[in-house]
Amino acid sequence: MGSSFRFSKAGPEDADRITELTNLAFEVEAFFKTKPRTNVDGVKQMMEKPDSEFLLLLDSQDNLAGSIFITLNDDTPPNAYFGMLSIHPSQQGKGLGKMMVLEVEKRFRERGFTSLVITTVSVRPELQTYYGKLGYEVYAQKPFVSDDLNRPVDFVCMRKQLA
């Protein structure tokens, strides 16, 4: 990782800036969603889930350049999972998203997990391409049911073997 960035575990005091960054980074999804990606209460609830955290990427002045949610999902047995990868638009295209994903993979590998999953959306095929280049493969597709969609959307579930 470049010397100008560092990782930090988010605390409840970071919920506002995580929300702001996430909604800014996910504005690209406005073509199919009618509401922002998240809100402060939602971020705080995610933080409170067992075995869950937001990992922050901070620049040398502690400005938030990126965030990612990591957790264990509800599968039996639970899978290592990440989502809501958000890079500030001014920092996109510089490899920071890949840097964050590789850090999450390393952390889960160190905890003994042999695979990592992510859920993308069918109407953003560039995400499947992006994660595919990082070694993730589609293993399932299921309906995305939400009251804030303006068109049919499916979740595209992807997995990478870490072992």
Q: pTM for the complete prediction?
A: 0.93
**For residue 90, what are its two tokens?**
């001014």
Average pLDDT score, the chain: 94
Which residue has tokens 């502690």? 62
Distance of alpha carbon 71 from alpha carbon 108, whole angstroms: 10
Query: In the prediction, which pLDDT does 3 show?
Result: 56
Segment 134-162 shows an average pLDDT of 96
CA 101 to chain centroid, in Å, comes to 8
- Residue 161: predicted pLDDT: 95
| Start-to-end Cα distance in the chain | 22
